[in-house]
Amino acid sequence: MTKTAIETGYQRVITIMKSCPNCQKPPTFIAVLSALNPARIRCTYCKQTIIIKTLPAVLATATALILSLIAIATIDHFGYGMSIMAIALISLGLLLEAAYFLAIRSGRIASNLH
């Protein structure tokens, strides 16, 4: 686990990053983005399987699906074209993947990272 402390004036910000149990390097966004199964992610550096607790992975997938359906219904309701819908869904997907990645990397979602 890597700890970084930054002190600015009266503020102190502490960031804790989880790392791979095999190579001790932090997971990458590409590893999370390219994973077919959100509960099993491969380390970019050593190919070790990083196992995410099943419930948070299922909840993240369900949330992404529900938000995508809401986005589709909203875009369809207002009569926007398919290109706007595609851009919106891709943007939403990347935003949710980034949030999932940050939750894994910070340890908010339980995994076998150290």
Give the model confidence (pLDDT) of 40-54 as tens digits: 999 999 999 999 988
Query: Is residue 114 in a domain?
Result: no
Pairing mode, strands 40-42 and 2-8: unpaired
**Mean of the per-residue pLDDT values of the chain:** 84
Query: Is residue 53 in a domain?
Result: yes
Query: Is residue 44 in a domain?
Result: yes
Range of the domain at 19: 2-106
Query: Is residue 79 in a domain?
Result: yes
Query: Is residue 8 in a domain?
Result: yes
Query: Is residue 34 in a domain?
Result: yes
pLDDT of residue 61 exceeding 70, the answer is yes
Report the number of distinct structural domains present in the chain: 1
pLDDT band at 70 (very low <50, low <70, confident <90, very high): very high
Measured between alpha carbons, how far is 100 from 32 in angstroms, rounded to an integer?
A: 8
Q: At what angle do helices 82-106 and 54-77 cross, to 10 degrees?
A: 160
Taking the model in full, what pTM does it have? 0.77
Query: Is residue 111 in a domain?
Result: no
pLDDT computed for residue 114 by the predictor: 82
- Encoding tokens for residue 59? 């909840």
pLDDT of residue 1 exceeding 50, the answer is no
Half-sphere exposure of 72 (CA within 13 A, CB side): 8
Query: Is residue 113 in a domain?
Result: no
